[in-house]
Amino acid sequence: MQRLINKVVEVFNAQFGKEQLVVSAPGRINIIGEHTDYNLGYVFPAAIGEAIYFALGPSNNPTKCTCHSIDENESFSFDLNDIEAIPSPTWKNYILGVVAELQNTGKTIQGFNLAFSGNIPVGSGMSSSAALECGLCFGLNELYNLGLSRKEMALISQAAEHNYAGVKCGIMDQFSSLMGKKDQAFILDCRNLELTYVKVDLQNYSLVLCNSNVSHSLVTSAYNERRQQCEDGVAQVKTKYPNVQSLRDINMDMLNELQPILNDTVYKRCKFIVEENQRVLDMGKAFENRDLEDIGRLLNEAHYGLRYEFEITCEQTDFLADQFVDNKFTPGARQMGGGFGGCIIAVVETEKLNDVIKEVSSAYAMKYKEATFLPIEISNGCHLVNN
């Protein structure tokens, strides 16, 4: 981590001079609760040790901003008075979106210089995009004393992703990057944005991520299609239950009653979300009770739903999940993130973790490619770094 921070500071100093502040913006895991956030349900995320690090400071021109991505080895400049989204998918749109949405709130910022780099695997489902948005928003809030709350910064960052990156994401990723606390996950109610922290203490077990290294893109995947299918289901349920506003308001009795008027695909999508919401609440209780059997069961049920009902897994992540749960030292595992690639999150007996990783890694490499394994350290949300 320190080496990465030093690199970011050195690049910034070489390009822009030494006047800077340094921000850490973490990625996240989501223990359970996929695609429930934009359906105004519940999620159970936590910030992690992997992060994007930013060095930023004021520019000499009050309206000119220059940003350098160290990992992409690419720079671009723009004027605060002339911000437009770039038509093709690019990291630049996240930057432009945050600045534009800050201005839309009536906040005044001036030109700035920025250099950043991170160790969150892109396309892995650990929300590198949200870390980019939230870290910049947090940094500008500090640099120009904007007085924004963390909740306000999360909503600004979400709007940036909607309006400039083209992904109609829920609020979970941004809340995770800004609200995380060390050694704690939290249940977030995505309707009223209330959150409840839950201590993560698995005793003799550990959380581990396994990156399939099948990279996904939420813009080009079926993410927005799944969201539309959920909205279609809500619209049809409202014909019988007009007070329903989202899948959060629907239970399985209502859904089954209306199954004849829903097409099979929409029914499956809605069924997954309704049951996943309940799994999140049950998982919170399982963590409070340190009930490893229940934690594993809920992870396995979630993967089944992702695979056969929401249909956003892929051959490689299904294979990895099966490899984990077939191992007697792993109570449960599931695909994590938006889908169509990315990571598996698993609970593994700590003493046997290296053995399990070796077995899963070998099997996956023989059939597909190398997987990457990452033990999880649950960390604090966005914060300033002393450099």
| Same domain? 149 vs 238 | no
| CATH number, domain with residue 219 | 3.30.70.890
Residues of the chain with pLDDT under 70: 123-124, 216-221, 387
| CATH number, domain with residue 165 | 3.30.230.10
| Same domain? 37 vs 138 | yes
pLDDT given at position 284: 97
| Same domain? 94 vs 164 | yes
Write out the residue range of the structural domain in which residue 59 sits: 2-199+379-384
pLDDT given at position 217: 58
Rounded Cα distance, 348 and 328, in Å: 9
pTM of the model: 0.91
| Same domain? 270 vs 195 | no
Q: What sections of 57-210 are H helices per DSSP?
A: 92-104, 128-143, 150-160, 172-179
pLDDT given at position 275: 98
| Same domain? 78 vs 101 | yes
| Same domain? 22 vs 89 | yes
Rounded Cα distance, 234 and 123, in Å: 29
Q: How far is CA 191 from CA 51, 123, 156, 248, in A?
A: 27, 27, 17, 8
| Same domain? 178 vs 304 | no
Catalytic: 173? yes
The three-state secondary structure class of 39 is coil
pLDDT given at position 75: 96
| Same domain? 160 vs 217 | no
pLDDT given at position 219: 46
| Same domain? 263 vs 345 | yes
Structure tokens at 237: 């349920």
pLDDT given at position 88: 85
| Same domain? 210 vs 190 | no
pLDDT given at position 224: 81
| Same domain? 236 vs 337 | yes
The terminus-to-terminus CA distance of the chain in angstroms comes to 11
**Domain tally for the chain?**
2
| Same domain? 33 vs 66 | yes
**Which one of 79, 173, 253, 322 is the catalytic residue?**
173
